[in-house]
Amino acid sequence: MSTILVGADVGGSTSRVVVSDGTKVLGTAEGPGAALRPERVLASAATIVDVVRRALSNAGQLRADAMVIGAAGAGRETEREELRQALRVEALAGQLRITTDIEIALEAAFGSQPGIVLTAGTGSIGVARDPAGVIHRSGGYGWQMGDEGSGYSIGRSALGAVGRAADGRSPATALTAAILAATRAGQLEGLIRWSARAGPAEVAALAPVVLEVAATGDVTARGILDYAARELSQLVFHLVPHFPETVRVTVACNGGLISPGRPLFPILKAKVEEQPRLTMRESPVDPVEGALAMARALIG
């Protein structure tokens, strides 16, 4: 009988689950983000359970032998344990491990080897595993205190640019029409009301609009992306001192915003590789692969 493994990547905007027999994918499912928040773990658990059950159903399975969930916001044991208890009640897997989205991304990119993973989605964070196996982080303090260069940061900068352009404090920009259309706000007053109600994920959803407008040559949009790339590169530079001076360090990018092939990637690559010890990996990272590898390790 095949071994059934489940790997889950739970972020702020999207949750993705893959079911595998260790060699091939049997089923997948996606759902809304379910990042862990203090005192809101049960709500996250409900979303995760729904997506896992759908993935298992698509694979023709009711239960897995081992499941690893890498979730944003799972850095504290309090939230991890609360989620662990909620999932055990559902009896979705024989073996269960709750870890962070950081850990599964590092596993997917480097296995047990050293390196840096830069993640930019709704939020942003840089994480390194040094040659001794110690993990270090840079950023990742949330939309109020950090998330530099993230989708939220880009969307927030675009909203600010639209406001300044409306006042004549900065040049007119094609972002105005594009963001009014994306939010269905109609006019500036409608956009003001929309932005007052919007959460971080909704603001982050404006990032693709900025990418599209920047591709047309709009100076303001291109400036926002250049600044985002500079901020993201700083997250990486802060981690370099954790590696010996003679070692070249590989940086892998995680998240749809900065994946290889996305418009922001070449801008970011140019800035990161200004540091001669750094090399940007050209292939994408799939954190779910890391979660599946960890699930396989649970059962030996």
Per residue in 107-130, pLDDT tens? 999 998 999 999 888 888 899 999
Asked if residue 49 is part of any domain, the answer here is yes
φ, ψ at 230 (rounded to 5°): -65, -40
Q: What is the DSSP letter of 254?
A: E
Asked if residue 141 is part of any domain, the answer here is no
Look up the domain containing 58 and give its range.
Answer: 5-106+287-298
**Which of 42-46, 243-247, 289-293 shows the highest mean pLDDT?**
289-293
Asked if residue 206 is part of any domain, the answer here is no
Does the reported pTM lie above 0.75? yes
**Strand-pair partners of 9:** 16, 70
Position 1 scores a pLDDT of: 62
Are 285 and 121 contacting, i.e. CB atoms less than 8 angstroms apart?
no
Mean pLDDT to the nearest integer, 87-99:
92
Mean pLDDT to the nearest integer, 210-228:
94
Asked if residue 249 is part of any domain, the answer here is no
Asked if residue 233 is part of any domain, the answer here is no
Are 200 and 152 contacting, i.e. CB atoms less than 8 angstroms apart?
yes
Asked if residue 226 is part of any domain, the answer here is no
Asked if residue 150 is part of any domain, the answer here is no
- Round the average pLDDT of the chain to a whole number and report it: 91
Mean pLDDT to the nearest integer, 185-214:
92
Position 76 scores a pLDDT of: 81
Q: Give buried/exposed letters for 35-58 (b at 16+ CB in 10 A, else e).
A: bbeeeebeebbebbbbbbebbbee
pLDDT band for position 261 (cuts 50, 70, 90): confident
Q: What total number of domains does the chain contain?
A: 1
Asked if residue 10 is part of any domain, the answer here is yes
The whole-angstrom separation of Cα 105 and Cα 12 is 15
The CATH number of the domain holding residue 22 is 3.30.420.40
- Please name the helix (run of DSSP H) or strand (run of DSSP E) that holds residue 68, with its range, or none: strand 64-71
The whole-angstrom separation of Cα 126 and Cα 118 is 4
